Amino acid sequence: MSSNNNNNNKRYLAALTKAIIKNPRKPSKKELMETKGELLAKQNEEKFAKKLKERQEQERLARQIRLTQNQFDGYNDMGIDSNAEWVDGDRLRKS
């Protein structure tokens, strides 16, 4: 009797395994929402990283522009015209 039960259990498990392989279970709503949440979090992270990189690039360019402007302001403070041309070494001629 027990060997017959054992064989039935094996057949049942084999049939169940085949059914699961053919038709895998659909994820529950909770699992889908968790997966969706993970995807949204990843997308938000990527968007934030992209915006941060763009902002850093804009700040770098603005800093570079300010430094360049400060150099020209420094020349003007020394009484040197930034539009002047060098002539014969040290002398400046206004254009």
- Comparison of pLDDT for 73 and 31, the residue scoring more: 31
**Total residue length of the chain:** 95
pTM (2 decimals)? 0.42
* Coil vs helix vs strand at 82: coil
Q: Tell me the pLDDT tens digit for each residue of 16-39.
A: 787 777 777 777 888 878 888 888
Report pLDDT for 39.
86
Q: Are 62 and 70 in contact (CB under 8 A)?
A: no
